[in-house]
Amino acid sequence: MTVPAASAVLTVIVKKLLNRKRPVGIALTGFYDIILTIAGDGDSMKLQKIMYDYVYVVIGGFLFAVGLNLFIVPLDLYSGGVIGMAQIIRTVLAQYAHMDFGQLDIAGIINFLMNVPLFILAYRSISRKFFVKTLLCVLTQTVAFTIVMIPSTPILDDVLAACLIGGLICGFGIGLALRSGGSGGGLDILGVYFTKKFSDFSVGRLSNIINVLVFGVCAILFNVTTAIYSIIYTACMYLVVDKTHYQNINMTAMIFTKEEEVQESIMKEMGRGVTYWKGAGAYTKTDTHILVTVISKYEVTQLKKIIYKIDPRAFVIFNEGMSISGNFEKRL
């Protein structure tokens, strides 16, 4: 088939896809968005961002599995959340039920099965994009848990150092997935769901309740030392997740500009509320518009582009980690 003929066939296929109200099959939804982007306004930057998000979700899932299998599992330590439950079930089946799985680590498979009800929740109640990215991340984890061999002897003899390094790698992986619009499954899905549903919901409180149960079981079935080091690893991982997951960091922006269009563009393009008042420069004595808006750290780049496109001489002050209450939409 010649290149023009192939191009014509591809064009027909794309047009047929675009004429459909919904793509066939749930898993195609995320990739359908890519097709819409290509054939819609032709914005290559949007397409590039979507592709990068999917790549980062895969990398994040792989890093989480690598950090866990190489640094945590060889020390017989356990993660928190759903994956921790899966690890405990695997150990109980192997040690107490005497089931031989050979070299296969079935924790990833158990984790995937336990996530199935949460996938349904994500698809129905959060968003299809979030569902596709989370499914992709957990699938990557499942494959990585199976193919990344667990060392017969720990890479690091220092248990505390292994907990810190494993926590850094796993936390960065999960944070990367969350930052790209997906999640690592398990408590991440519940956290995003309840945060969107209840403005005052504490993800940390939910994690603490589940993890107390997981590590309590670890202390009973194994020993207290195992539970303590597992807690250290999990705390380190969550700390890195919070620093990597920009959408979870609130910021206020105070903007000084002489252009009235800035506030309209922020409200229209970002969907964020803006409060403004009129001021004057103490030195220049010229009138200035002072704008205040609340965003997530993830939106800082977008806000800067909007501002400086209209007013290259605008002055902006950002404050990070502000405590915010009221009608503020968290976009996780």
**DSSP per residue over 228-288, as a string?**
HHHHHHHHHHHHHHHHH-GGGSEEEEEEEES-THHHHHHHHHH----EEEEEE-TTT--EE
Q: What is the pLDDT of residue 224?
A: 92
Mean pLDDT of 247-272: 82
Tell me the mean pLDDT in the region 224-244. Answer: 88
pLDDT at 76 over 80: yes
pLDDT for 182? 79
Rg (alpha carbons) of the chain, rounded to whole number: 24
Q: Which domain holds residue 20?
A: 3-42
Over residues 104-143, the pLDDT tens digits come to 678 888 999 999 999 999 888 888 888 888 899 999 999 9
Could you say which of 247, 274, 300 is where a domain stops?
247
Domain termination site, one of 247, 275, 293: 247
Q: Given this model, what pLDDT does residue 204 score?
A: 62
User: Is position 326 within any domain?
Assistant: no
Phi, psi dihedrals of residue 252, rounded to the nearest 5°: -110, 145
25, 85: one domain = no
Q: Is residue 327 part of a domain?
A: no
Q: Do 132 and 237 reside in the same domain of the chain?
A: yes
Q: How far apart are CA 104 and CA 100, in angstroms?
A: 9
Tell whether 140 and 225 lie within a shared domain. yes
* Distant-in-sequence contacts of 123-131, Cβ < 8 A, 24+ apart: 123/26, 125/193, 125/197, 126/189, 126/192, 126/193, 126/196, 128/26, 128/29, 128/30, 129/29, 129/30, 129/33, 129/181, 130/181, 130/182, 130/183, 130/192, 131/26, 131/29
Q: Is residue 187 assigned to a domain?
A: yes
Average pLDDT over residues 219-231: 91
Q: How confident is the model at residue 174 (pLDDT cuts 50, 70, 90)?
A: confident
Tokens standing for residue 34: 């890519």
Please compute the mean of the pLDDT values over residues 256-263 and round it to a whole number: 87
For residues 87 and 193, state if they share a domain: yes
Q: Give the model's pLDDT for residue 33.
A: 52
Residue 30 falls within a domain, yes or no?
Answer: yes
CATH code: domain of residue 268: 3.30.70.120
160 occurs within a structural domain: yes
Residue 58: inside a domain: yes
Q: Are residues 23 and 58 both part of a single domain?
A: no
State pTM to two decimals. 0.69
**Which of 174-188, 194-208, 227-241, 318-332 has the least mean pLDDT?**
318-332
Is residue 214 within 8 A of residue 199, CB to CB? The reply is: no
Question: Are 68 and 27 within one domain?
Answer: no
Q: How confident is the model at residue 37 (pLDDT cuts 50, 70, 90)?
A: very low
Mean pLDDT of 222-237: 91
Nearest Cα residue to 129 out of 177, 181, 62, 192: 181
Measured CA to CA, the distance from residue 121 to residue 306 in angstroms comes to: 35
Q: How many domains does the chain have?
A: 3
> Is the pLDDT score of 24 beyond 60?
no
- 18 found inside a domain: yes
- Shared domain for 165 and 274, answered yes or no, is no
**205 with 65, same domain?**
yes
Q: What's the mean pLDDT in 256-285? A: 84
Among 94-103, 151-160, 224-233, name the most confident range: 224-233
Q: Is residue 70 part of a domain?
A: yes
Q: Are residues 85 and 161 in the same domain?
A: yes
Q: Give SS3 for 291.
A: strand
**Residue carrying the six token digits 């040690």:** 95
Quick one: pLDDT at residue 282? 78
Same structural domain, 287 and 307: yes
- Asked if residue 315 and residue 217 are part of one domain, the reply reads no
- Of 14-18, 96-100, 268-272, 313-317, which range is least confident? 14-18
Q: Is the domain of 135 the same as that of 187?
A: yes
